[in-house]
A and B are shown apart, each in its own frame.
Chain A
Amino acid sequence: MDELIKQLKEEIIDVLNLEEVTPADIDENAPLFGDGLGLDSIDALELIVLMEKNYGIRLTDPAQGKEIFKSVAVMADYISKNRKK
């Protein structure tokens, strides 16, 4: 799981162009939206694309995203249980 969390942090930094952020700056338990990384709705779309492209997970219900994108740790947990790639 630690390896997946590290990989996920790197992918998030890359896909969201978080130029001044390093994986160490991201607390895997902090919220991705609002306070934590301060992501917004466009970032949510980018994360949906990331999940499908890199892990073969297709989110059809946008409400699912709210739960899955709570934090990097929650995302990693969901990916580890549902990944097809």
Chain B
Amino acid sequence: MKLTHPVYISAATQISIQQPLSEEWINAPVMPEGLYNEAIDPLFKEWLSAGEARRLGKIMKRAVATSAVAMNRSGIDNPDAIITATGLGCVKNTELFLTDLCNNGEQLLKPTQFMQSTHNTIGSLIAILNKCHGYNVTYANGDISAETALLDAATQMQLGDIKTALVGAHDEMTPCYYTLLERIGYYGVKGMVTSGETAVSLMLTDEKNDSAICRISDITVLHKASDSKIADTLTKTGEASCIIAGFNGKAETDLLYKSLIERHYPDSTVLQYKNLFGENMTSSALGIYAAVSILKHGRFPSAMYVAGPTGKSIDSIICLNISGNNIGIVKLTAL
């Protein structure tokens, strides 16, 4: 969907397996080792008192911290909407809750784990802490959750219903859940990138304020799309000087990215991000975050380079996320 009414990204930040709340990864990225990596956490006491933090799982603390930084950098402390994307929600608490459920004969369940085992706990906590009483929705659409959340925010801005939106993408991983996903081939395939954890917060505005970094010019989410539909959509999205794709080391997926990029974007610089940020259900948000940072700084680390021209200035980036026959396409344009 081409966005006729402008939508700007005024702040973007992350906590992941790279340095937290920082763009240091552009200069000196952490090169992940092994197949399972947890996020590098900042000290959360800047945003949460010990009393507030004690009940919160890591995913919640990370969401609070990235949201606070995005709000602070954009100068918007009460967004019209809080829209959250998460593939698995608060999976650590869910796991603890289910383990107790099994071990204690469905008795003696802990209220805190129960309260924090739902997907929408994240968005509601951000709203409560920041007294944002507006639109609040969580998308749990698997690997395509981040683009769906962005699409909701952008669509409402096209309709004039909201002017600002805090869009977040949050996922955590546990060793147990990693093992389950490994069994079904989601992780651990030979040659694949590491697993990761995502906390990304983006502040969207419908007006170009002083902190605006780039513009979202197109967002499309395709479900169960045919080859012709995908080809047609990519043609309509138009060209871009750079493509950031979700190459993850799985031969089948990477081949699909390669063939689409060769066919539609033969002259673009092609970059990857999952080799630095890892794979999980909302890692495409880290790709979008990386794109925003590249447009802001005008450069990218050599570890991201895959193919295409180098040295050309990057003024537009298409973020391509393929998950089976679901596809998310986000086009960003420099200001």
- The chain A residues found within 8 Å of chain B, CB to CB, are 15-20, 38, 42, 45-46, 49, 52-53
Contacts and interface: CB of A to CB of B under 8 A. Distances in A.
13 contacts: A17-B55, A18-B54, A19-B54, A38-B51, A42-B111, A42-B112, A42-B115, A46-B111, A46-B112, A49-B109, A52-B107, A53-B104, A53-B108
Given A17-B55, A20-B50, A46 B110 contact: yes
Could you say which of A16, A19, A42, A49 has the most chain B C-beta atoms within 10 Å of its C-beta? A49
B111 A16 contact: no
A56 to B, nearest CB: 11
Contacts of B108: 49, 52-53
A2 to B, nearest CB: 26
A20 B44 CA distance: 13
Interface in B306-332: none
A52 B108 CA distance: 7
Contacts of A17: 54-55, 112
A15 B110 CA distance: 9
Interface string B51-62: 101110000000
A26 B170 CA distance: 36
A18 B55 CA distance: 9
A45 B54 contact: no
Contacts of B110: 15, 46, 49
Nearest to A42: B111
Contacts of B53: 19
A37 B73 CA distance: 35
Contacts of A42: 55, 111-112, 115
Interface string B98-111: 00000010011111
Contact of B54 (A16, A49, A53): A16
Interface string B111-138: 1100100000000000000000000000
B221 to A, nearest CB: 37
